[in-house]
Amino acid sequence: MVKICCIGAGYVGGPTMAVIALKCPHIEVVVVDISVPRIAAWNSDQLPIYEPGLEDVVKQCRGKNLFFSTDVEKHIADADIIFVSVNTPTKTRGLGAGKAADLTYWESAARMIADVSKSNKIVVEKSTVPVKTAEAIEKILTHNSKGIEYQILSNPEFLAEGTAIDDLFKPDRVLIGGRETPEGQKAIQALKAVYANWVPEDRIICTNLWSAELSKLAANAFLAQRISSVNAMSALCEATGADVAEVSHAVGKDSRIGSKFLNSSVGFGGSCFQKDILNLVYICECNGLPEVATYWKQVIKINDYQKNRFVNRVVSSMFNTVSGKKIAVLGFAFKKDTGDTRETPAIDVCKGLLGDKARVSIYDPQVTEDQIQRDLSMNKFDWDHPIHLQPMSPTTVKQVSVVWDAYEATKDAHGICILTEWDEFKNLDYQRIYDNMQKPAFVFDGRNIVNPEKLREIGFIVYSIGKPLDAWLRDMPAVA
């Protein structure tokens, strides 16, 4: 029986290994992590991450050919194929701080593999890593090999949170990069044989190592660029009276462009887009390409601008101050169908409102109060480090209350900010909400999910990103 071990039981490792176990019952799959609480959660009825369909897959396989363990060394030693799916956070200090990826956890994993291995291994990069990481890992392993042969493969993930299980069942492509040596090609074929159990062969792309590593960064950069492009257009739409939804629809009908990732919003978030673009910027700078670095930096700048613009619109619309006013925030996760809050625009919007002394009441169906308080009190990039390296007990932000009901969040509020596109927010009883709010009552829709005209009929003053402005808002332009 082929044995697979995955180091790292997070958003990538857990779901990916669960699907491999389901689709390959002849393969033993073990997910290992040094975090005892995380592994305990994977072995319980309350999984540590929320992803539609994940629980069902785990329950079908767990205890049969899918296992979760803290006995890291044993399972690394036993494995034929080792997936490494540890965090690669952005460096917070030292060379490349704020842009370069921190490979501390990757290096630790590589050294552990070298220490405990007694047989030849295929080591697979599953984390998002900077180009040439495989070369660095290869050097660590070969210099500590003790006669054992290692083949390094790059197998980047292209999962979208909220649809990860579907993405794994029916991937657009599976990318495997390896050395162009006979041994490297043999390793590629071994990993390809795993995916071939359910992925059509024409969707499994084999490349060299560097192409595979760079393709992941490039894909995320292109997607983030589309969001920043449409968000830049949303500001122009508001200024001219155009409707960004109509503009996006017209642009998306061009077959060369397509309609995906053209929805304007308060900004993009998640664990990959910003981190990968900053990584790309750093690689460009290190390779003497300052103009290319500046180009990609602008994608991040537009994203920050969009969040700032949203906060400014809230404050300026409400008589230029939200001091002492209750603002209800509906949604804190960076997108619907996930509890992930990494780089969520909600953090910057809430901090902006708190900076103007607002009282913020937050409701999200999947995010805990502890997570929200932690996010609002942490420094940038702290979120991507293991939890034991994050601030131990974050200071509670006193002007923030976290509630478990949208109606409680909006009761006596002066304004509502919709920051995640949860389906339930489309179907709330807005008449009931309006009746229980302070007047004038404002709705600031950061995801364009509500019908502005229906809300105006109720009595709300409504701001939807990139849509023609409410007469009230035209009289109170957003400050820069």
388 and 286 in a common domain: yes
Residues 300 and 437 in one domain: yes
According to the model, what pLDDT value does residue 146 have? 81
Q: What is the pLDDT of residues 220-245, one digit of tens each?
A: 999 999 999 999 999 999 999 999 99
Q: How confident is the model at residue 382 (pLDDT cuts 50, 70, 90)?
A: low
Per-residue pLDDT for 26 more than 50? yes
| CATH number, domain containing residue 327 | 3.40.50.720
pLDDT in tens, 143-158: 877 889 999 999 998 8
| Number of domains comprising the chain | 2
- The per-residue pLDDT for range 49-72, each reduced to its tens digit, is 999 999 999 999 999 999 999 999
In a domain? residue 469: yes
Shared domain check, 464 and 325: yes
**For residue 209, is it within any domain?**
no
Who's near 204: CB < 8 A, 6+ residues apart? 173, 174, 176, 192, 195, 196
Q: Is 87 helix (H, G, I), strand (E, B) or coil?
A: coil
What are the tokens at 305? 């601008």
Is residue 284 domain-shared with residue 360, that is, in the same domain? yes
Last residue of a domain, one of 145, 175, 199: 199
Is 272 catalytic? The answer is yes
Say whether pLDDT at 129 is over 80: no
* Among 88, 87, 107, 117, CA closest to 5: 117
Q: Can you read off the two tokens belonging to residue 402?
A: 């976290």
Q: How confident is the model at residue 195 (pLDDT cuts 50, 70, 90)?
A: very high
Binding-site sequence positions for NAD(+)? 8-13, 33, 38, 86-90, 127-128, 161, 272-275, 342
- Looking at the fold, whether 254 and 137 belong to one and the same domain comes out as no
How far apart, in whole angstroms, are the C-alpha atoms of residue 116 and residue 46?
32
Q: How far apart (Å, rounded) are the C-alpha atoms in residues 367 and 118?
A: 43
Instruction: Answer yes or no: is pLDDT of 393 > 50.
Output: no
Domain membership of residue 468 (yes or no) is yes
Per DSSP, which regions of 364-420 are E strands? 400-402, 415-418
Q: Which residue has the tokens 């968000």?
A: 231
**Proportion of the chain above pLDDT 70, given as a percent:** 93
Shared domain for 168 and 314, answered yes or no, is no
Residue 347, in any domain of the structure? yes
186 and 267 fall within a common domain: no
Of the residues 24, 237, 272, 284, only one is catalytic, namely 272
Q: Of 168, 199, 230, which residue sits at a domain end?
A: 199
The per-residue pLDDT of the chain, averaged, comes to 91
Q: Which of 175, 199, 223 is the last residue of a domain?
A: 199
Q: Rounded distance, CA 355 to CA 341, Å?
A: 20
**pLDDT value at residue 478:** 53
Q: Does residue 21 share a domain with residue 113?
A: yes
Pair 186, 246 in one domain: no
Residues 316 and 410 in one domain: yes
Q: Are 118 and 189 in a shared domain? A: yes
- Whether residues 165 and 247 share a domain: the answer is no
* 207 assigned to some structural domain: no
| Percent of the chain as helix, strand, coil, to the nearest 5 | 45, 15, 40
Predicted confidence (pLDDT) per residue in 7-21, tens digit: 999 999 999 999 999
The backbone torsions φ and ψ at residue 331, rounded to the nearest 5 degrees and listed phi first, read: 100, 125
Q: Pairing state of beta strands 28-32 and 66-69?
A: parallel
Q: Output the six-digit token pair for 67.
A: 């296992």
Q: Note whether residue 415 is domain-resident.
A: yes
Q: Is residue 385 situated within a structural domain?
A: yes
pLDDT, tens digit (0-9, with 9 covering 90-100), for 268-294: 998 889 988 998 998 899 999 999 999
Which residues define the annotated binding site? 8-13, 33, 38, 86-90, 127-128, 161, 272-275, 342
- Check whether 215 has a pLDDT greater than 80: yes
The verdict on residue 345 lying in a domain is yes
- Cα 207 off chain centre by: 26
Domain that holds residue 77: 3-199
pLDDT of 388 higher than 50: no
Per-residue pLDDT tens digits for 340-355: 999 999 999 999 999 9
**Chain segment 407-424, per-residue pLDDT in tens:** 999 999 999 999 999 999
pLDDT band at 256 (very low <50, low <70, confident <90, very high): very high
Q: Which residue has the higher pLDDT, 31 or 472?
A: 31
- Residue 158 in 3-state DSSP? coil
